[in-house]
C-alpha cells in the first residue's frame, strides 16, 4: 500500500488527512470534492493521489467520497495523550458516541479497544458516515478500521 509522507511539523500542527490507496486505479472523486484543491494526481494509471499539506485543512469532506475507503483523518495532538482518527464507516448499525469498540489495522488485525468520540452523518455522504475515535498517539498511523 502506498501513502503520502506527512511532514512531521505539519502532523503536529493540526487536522489533516492521509490517503492510503490500496491500488493504482483510475479514480478521482477525492480531487473533485476538495474545496482547497489540495489533492492532485499526476497520472491516473501510475500514481496515487498526492496531498499538498500546506493546503489541506482536515475538513474531512474527501473521506466519505472515496469509494475505496482509503482516506483517513488524523488530528495528532487532539489532547495530551491521544490522537483523533476519522474513519469512513459504511456498516449499519452505526456505533454510538462513547461506545468502546475494537480498533483494527488495515488488514483487520485487532490493535486495541478505542472510544468512539463522534459519528458524523450527512445526506451528501451517501451511505458512508465518518466515525471519530480517540487512540493513543502511537497508534495514529496504525488503526484504520473499527469492529463493534
Ligand atoms: S480534508 Fe478537506 S482540505 Fe484536506 S484534502 Fe480532504 S477535502 Fe481537501
Ligand atoms: S477517491 Fe479514494 S480511491 Fe479514488 S483516487 Fe481518491 S483516494 Fe484513491
End-to-end CA distance of the chain: 25
Q: Among the atoms of ligand 1, which is closest to the Cα of residue 71?
A: 6
Can you give the residue range of the structural domain that contains 60? Answer: 8-98+116-135
φ and ψ of 79, to 5 deg:
-145, -170
Structural domain includes residue 38: yes
The CATH code of the domain that includes 72 is: 3.30.70.20
Q: How far is the CA of 80 from the centre of ligand 2 (A)?
A: 32
pLDDT for 27: 84
Structural domain includes residue 63: yes
Q: Measuring from atom 3 of ligand 1, which residue has the nearest CA?
A: 56
Q: What is the pLDDT of residues 55-78, one digit of tens each?
A: 999 999 999 999 999 999 999 999
The single-letter DSSP state of residue 84 is: E
Rounded CA gap, 4 and 65, in Å?
19
The single-letter DSSP state of residue 138 is: G
Q: Measuring from atom 4 of ligand 2, which residue has the nearest CA?
A: 27
Rounded CA gap, 79 and 92, in Å?
29
Q: How far is the CA of 63 from the centre of ligand 2 (A)?
A: 9
Q: What is the pLDDT of residues 89-106, one digit of tens each?
A: 999 999 999 999 999 999
Number of domains in the chain: 1
Amino acid at each position: 500500500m502506498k501513502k503520502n509522507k506527512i511532514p512531521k511539523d505539519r502532523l503536529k500542527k493540526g487536522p489533516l488527512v492521509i490517503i492510503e490507496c490500496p491500488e493504482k486505479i483510475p479514480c478521482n472523486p477525492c480531487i473533485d470534492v476538495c474545496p482547497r484543491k489540495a489533492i492532485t494526481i499526476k497520472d491516473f494509471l501510475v500514481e496515487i493521489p498526492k496531498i499538498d499539506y500546506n493546503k489541506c485543512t482536515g475538513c474531512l469532506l474527501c473521506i466519505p467520497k472515496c469509494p475505496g475507503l482509503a482516506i483517513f483523518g488524523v488530528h495528532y495532538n487532539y489532547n495530551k495523550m491521544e490522537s483523533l482518527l476519522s474513519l469512513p464507516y459504511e456498516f449499519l448499525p452505526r456505533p454510538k458516541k462513547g461506545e468502546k469498540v475494537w480498533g483494527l489495522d488495515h488488514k483487520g488485525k485487532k490493535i486495541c479497544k478505542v472510544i468512539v468520540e463522534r459519528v458524523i452523518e450527512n445526506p451528501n455522504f451517501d451511505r458512508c458516515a465518518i466515525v471519530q475515535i480517540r487512540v493513543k498517539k502511537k497508534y495514529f498511523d496504525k488503526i484504520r478500521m473499527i469492529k463493534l
